[in-house]
Chains A and B, each alone.
Chain A
Amino acid sequence: MAKVLLFGRLSDVAGWREREVAGATVGALRARLAAEDADLGEALAAPGVQVAVDQAIVRGDPALASGAEVAFLPPMSGG
């Protein structure tokens, strides 16, 4: 299980901010979230959405250790 965190408009689309989700890779998490909620799947795939695993930005489809924290970050707006 990974701890998934959603920020900005992504949490508005999903209606939640933090959840445990099963998935062995970032891609598997995305697929599971998209299967449960097509709107969220589309929002996660939007241009500019970055992924951080344990607070470091990742690209591609890295494997996830059990208990990993996976954050989906929409374009950062600055303060």
Chain B
Amino acid sequence: MITLTEAPFDPGALLGDFSRGRTETGAIASFTGLARAEEGAAQILELEAYPGFTEARIGEIAEEARARFSLDDFLVLHRVGKIAPGEAIVFVATAARHRRAAFEACDFLMDYLKSKAPFWKKSHGPDGARWIEPTSQDHADLGRWEKESS
């Protein structure tokens, strides 16, 4: 399931709910991303999405992950709007029969979400606001998966 939310969320509760009631899943991996304060340079992070479009594009990649890693299930929750340092921005959980697939699918989804997902990101700091473009490290991280698939 793919969800965008303006409200803060509790990653522990999400993981508990995601894990419950599974009898064939042997492995669940999860990742929680938090907003960093950047030593005071970023006071508030603002994320804009294109409702409908953003969920659909993430859903396509999640279905790719489901097929590639034979996932039993996945959950992606992403904040939009204004996010304070220390709050969770993103939560990804993957369920598979074995641990390697769960770890790799979680890593794969995060590399996509951090570099290419349809979000526009603005940092509000003491010197005003600025739009943030993806870093070359984000693109290099995504490139790992392209090489392996060719």
Contacts and interface: CB of A to CB of B under 8 A. Distances in A.
Interface stretch (B15-23, B66-74, B126-134): B126-134
A78 B119 contact: yes
B138 interface: yes
Contact of B114 (A5, A9, A52, A79): A79
A77 B50 contact: no
Given A8-B48, A8-B131, A9-B131, A77 B119 contact: yes
B116 A78 contact: yes
A77 B132 contact: yes
Contacts of B121: 77-79
A73 interface: yes
A41 interface: no
Contacts, number: 59
19 contacts: A5-B50, A7-B50, A8-B48, A8-B131, A9-B131, A52-B53, A55-B53, A55-B56, A71-B50, A76-B134, A77-B119, A77-B121, A77-B134, A78-B115, A78-B119, A79-B79, A79-B89, A79-B90, A79-B114
Given A7-B120, A55-B53, 10 more contacts: A7-B48, A8-B122, A9-B131, A52-B50, A52-B53, A76-B118, A77-B119, A78-B113, A79-B79, A79-B89
Interface of A: 5, 7-9, 12, 52, 55, 71, 73-79
Interface of B: 33, 47-48, 50, 52-53, 56, 78-79, 89-90, 112-122, 131-134, 138
